[in-house]
Amino acid sequence: MSLIHCPTTTTTRLRHPPLSPTVKFTVIKCCSLTSPVTVVNGNLEMTSSDKNRNEIRLGLPSKGRMAADTLDLLKDCQLSVRQLNPRQYVADIPQLSNVEVWFQRPKDIVRKLVSGDLDLGIVGLDTLSEYGQGNEDLILVHDALAYGDCRLSLAIPKYGIFEKINSVKELAQMPQWTAEKPLRVATGFTYLGPKFLKENGLEHVDFSTADGALEAAPAMGIADAIVDLVSSGTTLKENNLKEIEGGVILESQAVLVASKKSLLQRKGSCQHERI
Ligand X SMILES: Nc1ncnc2c1ncn2[C@@H]1O[C@H](COP(=O)(O)OP(=O)(O)OP(=O)(O)O)[C@@H](O)[C@H]1O
Ligand Y SMILES: O=P(O)(O)OC[C@H]1O[C@H](OP(=O)(O)OP(=O)(O)O)[C@H](O)[C@@H]1O
Quick one: 68 or 213, whose CB is closer to ligand Y? 213
**Of 173, 148, 168, 150, which is closest to residue 228 (Cα–Cα)?**
150
Instruction: Find the shortest distance in angstroms from Cβ 115 to ligand Y.
Output: 25
Determine the size of the site formed for ligand X (CB under 6 A). Answer: 15
Quick one: 36 or 233, whose CB is closer to ligand Y? 233
Residue showing the smallest CB distance to ligand X in the complex:
64
Give the type of residue at 261.
K
Quick one: 83 or 252, whose CB is closer to ligand Y? 252
Quick one: 16 or 151, whose CB is closer to ligand Y? 151
Instruction: Find the shortest distance in angstroms from Cβ 180 to ligand X.
Output: 33
135 with 114: CB under 8 angstroms? yes
252 binding partner (options ligand X, ligand Y, none; Cβ < 5 to 8 Å by kind): ligand X
Residue 192 touching ligand X (CB under 6 A): no
Instruction: Find the shortest distance in angstroms from Cβ 133 to ligand Y.
Output: 20
**Of 52, 170, 158, 66, which is closest to residue 108 (Cα–Cα)?**
66
Question: 183-187 and 225-230 as β-strands: parallel, antiparallel, unpaired?
Answer: parallel
79 with 93: CB under 8 angstroms? yes
* Residue 270 DSSP SS3: strand
User: Facing residues of 120 across strands?
Assistant: 58, 258
Quick one: 27 or 217, whose CB is closer to ligand Y? 217
Which residues lie near ligand Y (CB under 6 A)? 212-213, 215, 228-235
233 binding partner (options ligand Y, ligand X, none; Cβ < 5 to 8 Å by kind): ligand Y
Residue 127 touching ligand X (CB under 6 A): yes
Give the type of residue at 65.
R
Residues 42 to 81: which contact ligand X by CB under 6 A? 61, 64-66
Looking from the CA of 215 toward its CB, the CA atoms found within 13 Å total 15
50 with 110: CB under 8 angstroms? no
126 with 254: CB under 8 angstroms? no
**Of 89, 108, 99, 101, which is closest to residue 42 (Cα–Cα)?**
89
Report the residue from 73, 96, 229, 263 that binds ligand X according to the rule CB under 6 A.
229
Report the residue from 59, 106, 157, 218 that binds ligand X according to the rule CB under 6 A.
106
Residue 186 CA to residue 228 CA, distance in Å, equals 8
Report the residue from 23, 24, 33, 107 that binds ligand X according to the rule CB under 6 A.
107
Which positions lie near ligand X, rule CB under 6 A? 61, 64-66, 105-107, 124, 126-127, 148, 150, 229, 231, 252
